């Protein structure tokens, strides 16, 4: 989470009057617009996108001074970043929401026409606004393509730090274990794809942190960090389930090679439950390139890959809950889901999240997509069937 605070958790579940979004604009390390008057906004994250965080922010421009004309202007998409902070109106707790790169600016301007005493006509600004489309700093890594670069660092984390050296800092969660860069790795043109490929070899993923650093976290998520329960004192508004066979696997195939170049293949299978390999679901393998150089190594890699895939979650819960500004993508939460046999706890990873405003102030509710394991849902299904 961005901020871990019992006081903030209590405010989320109780009164959150007077919360505001504080936004400053920076360009080239210089503050170019301070305390923008935000009139509406929406912040969204989705781990299915390379640039996970994407948002829109509309700011008031009553004097027409902010509406950009050229790419060097304060709110133009010529390298301006927005520093966004959530400020509690109850306790003044500040929650950094990260740094966002301006990708597009759409000014809306009004003009008032006056006729002067000599009969001439003049126009003066009559108030307006600027709507900004902004992305997290991974957008810069996506824009800065690779130009025939080759691997130079020895480990995956070191290589990620090198690739992002001029873009943003990189922090690594303590549960992520670094490994050597595979000799077979060859880059394409996308810098962000290269980062994703390197982290996939560590069973890890990324998210942008509140301080603008890229955080390397386990693919299975971080936590649990928050419990979403219903009732008058809870934060849960509603839960809906969505089951799909997209991205669902019941086997893992890991390939590698010995130091002498002899091919190696390891395989792991799901042999129990409704998705068992060879059962009604069929035979659906996931393929992976391993850095292992022994048969035992690729076999262990296949088993780990399948286990991690199941732990990371394969079914989605659509959750509406009270807005918590500290929550991040890949945080693990516990959702007390209502069933006809009572509330059942399900632990899952946040893979999508949307916060929005109601006018200039934050809306009280937000939406989450929480990815849970099939085994967790099957356990609930069994209890519901028994009654």
Pairwise CA distance, residues 272 & 253, whole Å: 18
Pairwise CA distance, residues 84 & 24, whole Å: 7
What is the residue-averaged pLDDT of the chain? 89
pLDDT digits (tens, 9 = 90+) for 125-168: 667 999 999 999 999 999 999 988 888 899 999 999 999 999 99
Q: What is the DSSP string of 159-221?
A: HHHHHTTTT--EEE-TTPPP-BPPTT----S-HHHHHHHHHHTTTEEEEE-TTSPEEEEETT-
Strand partners, 241: 317
Closest C-alpha among 168, 160, 161, 120 to residue 140: 168
* Phi, psi (deg, nearest 5) at residue 177: -100, 120
Locate 69 and state its tokens: 């004309």
N-terminal to C-terminal alpha carbon distance within the chain: 37
Residues in contact with 115: Cβ distance below 8 Å, sequence separation at least 6, in sequence order: 121
**Strand pairing class (214-218; 170-172):** parallel
pLDDT digits (tens, 9 = 90+) for 211-225: 999 999 999 899 999
Pairwise CA distance, residues 199 & 172, whole Å: 11
Pairwise CA distance, residues 342 & 335, whole Å: 13
* pLDDT at residue 125 in the model: 67
At residue 117 the predicted structure's pLDDT band, cuts being 50, 70 and 90, is confident
Helices 191-200, 156-163: inter-axial angle, 10-degree rounding: 160
Number of Cβ within 10 Å of residue 238's Cβ equals 12
Strand partners, 355: 43
Radius of gyration from C-alpha coordinates of the chain: 25
pLDDT digits (tens, 9 = 90+) for 368-381: 999 888 777 777 77
């Amino acid at each position: 989470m961005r901020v871990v605070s019992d006081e903030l958790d209590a405010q989320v579940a109780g009164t959150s009057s007077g919360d505001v979004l504080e936004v400053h604009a920076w360009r080239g390390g210089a503050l170019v617009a301070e305390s923008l008057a935000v009139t509406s906004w929406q912040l969204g994250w989705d781990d299915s996108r390379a640039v996970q965080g994407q948002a829109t922010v509309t700011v008031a421009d009553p004097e027409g001074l902010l509406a950009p004309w050229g790419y060097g202007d304060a709110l133009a998409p010529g390298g301006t970043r927005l520093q966004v902070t959530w400020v509690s109106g109850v306790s003044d707790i500040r929650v950094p929401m990260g740094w966002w790169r301006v990708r597009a600016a759409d000014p809306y301007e009004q003009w008032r026409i006056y006729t002067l005493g000599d009969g001439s006509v003049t126009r003066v600004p009559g108030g307006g606004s600027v709507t900004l489309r902004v992305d997290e700093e991974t957008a810069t890594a996506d824009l800065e393509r690779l130009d025939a670069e080759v691997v130079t660092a020895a480990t995956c984390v070191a290589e990620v730090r090198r690739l992002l050296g001029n873009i943003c800092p990189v922090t690594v969660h303590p549960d992520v274990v670094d490994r050597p860069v595979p000799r077979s790795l060859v880059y394409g043109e996308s810098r962000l794809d290269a980062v994703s490929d390197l982290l996939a070899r560590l069973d890890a993923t990324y998210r942008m942190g509140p301080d603008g650093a890229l955080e390397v976290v386990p693919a299975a998520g971080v936590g649990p960090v928050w419990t979403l329960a219903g009732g008058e004192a809870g934060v849960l508004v509603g839960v809906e389930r969505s089951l799909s066979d997209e991205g669902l696997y019941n086997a893992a195939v890991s390939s590698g090679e010995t130091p002498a170049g002899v091919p190696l293949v390891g395989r792991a299978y799901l042999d129990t439950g409704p998705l068992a390999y060879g059962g009604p679901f069929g035979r659906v393998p996931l393929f992976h390139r391993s850095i292992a150089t022994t048969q035992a190594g690729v076999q262990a890699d296949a088993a780990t890959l399948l286990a991690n895939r199941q732990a990371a979650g394969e079914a989605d819960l659509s959750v509406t809950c009270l807005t918590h500004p500290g929550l991040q993508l890949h945080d693990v939460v516990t959702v007390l889901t209502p069933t006809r046999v009572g509330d059942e706890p399900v632990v899952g990873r946040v893979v999508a999240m949307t916060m929005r405003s109601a006018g200039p102030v934050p809306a009280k509710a937000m939406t989450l997509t929480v990815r849970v394991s099939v085994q967790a849902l099957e356990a609930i299904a069994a209890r519901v069937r028994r009654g």
